[in-house]
Amino acid sequence: MSPEPTPYIVRLNAHTFPMIAEERHVLAALSHRLVEVEGATDDEALAVCRDADAVMIISAYLRASVIRQLTRCRIISRIGTGVDKIAVDEATRKGIIVNNLPDVFTEEVADHTLALLLAAARQIKFFDLTMRQGHRPDDFAGLHRLCAQTAGIIGFGRIGRAVARRCQGFGLRVLACDPCLTPELATRENVTPADLATVLAESDYVCLLCPLLPTTRSMLAMPQFKQMKPTAALVNTGRGELVNEDDLAEALRTGIIRHAALDVFGMVNVFDAEGFPTDHPLFKLDNVLLSPHVAAGSHEGTVDSRCRGAQAVVDVLTGKWPEHPVDPDVKPWFSLAG
């Protein structure tokens, strides 16, 4: 009779996002061995995850072809919010719990979204460039009081609501577009419910904050950009794949819309340790402000997410439900209390 395999936990993205002491401290409650790898390819991920009891993941993919071959896994702990890189349906089918942290970076992403919106409103990039050239523009026709403008928020979850409250602090009128938005929530948050067409037509700043789903992938392309005001700005801190980036570049180049401020991208992997190409047309446009997927970044957010992601693993491997199972109806293949 072969001996029982030594229990172990896999921590993916160990090179791009190395483990921190607080994360290790939480996992020290278990006797499991810890395996730290990047998991940049399906083959690499499968090689280490196949017999793992738990997998912790930040930005790597766990596709169905990998999850299907996991033999002992009880939990996939997403150290973050979005689960579009994890084949949740396949995990659910196998009775593996997928846990995420839907509230962990709300404040950071909301702050960064507003920072990008304000930079677009006050044309910070343009004025920085002119200052460095020794000039001061004397035409402010493109600048407007925020209290005279409208922000449209597409996706009204935790982050969308936090962005709305920040926008209201600057006097912006706020439109909110979300299929789950109820009249009661709209009243409580002091926003005006609107469909996508209305948000595009009336907003001076369109903020993308919805999850990446089959129904939202490439939801903004040239037909949608043509519905926007030519003076409008797009702010995307949701997912890069929500936008057709080739169409966006063309819309910006030809003046269909005025500006874009982007923190997320589909055309490059900003987490690549070797760097990423910058030859996409968006990189060549002066009316685009770019930040490399750092909206969630903060010291506090890092410590909080790592500790809570590790705690979810400890909970499941000691027989308890984690805090935020993505599919609460999952039927684990193993026993849990409660």
- The residues that are catalytic are 239, 274, 293
307: number of Cβ within 10 Å? 18
Asked if 174 contacts 147 with a C-beta cutoff of 8 angstroms, the reply is no
Amino acid making up residue 115: A
DSSP states along 235-258: EE-S-GGGB-HHHHHHHHHTTSSS
| Among the listed residues 16, 15, 73, the one whose alpha carbon sits nearest the alpha carbon of residue 271 | 16
| Among the listed residues 223, 269, 266, the one whose alpha carbon sits nearest the alpha carbon of residue 247 | 223
Distance CA 100, CA 82 (A): 8
Q: How many helices (H) and strands (E) does the chain have?
A: 12, 12
What sign has the CA pseudo-torsion 71, 31, 63, 66? negative
Tokens coding 100: 């995420």
Residue 107, φ and ψ in degrees, nearest 5: -65, -40
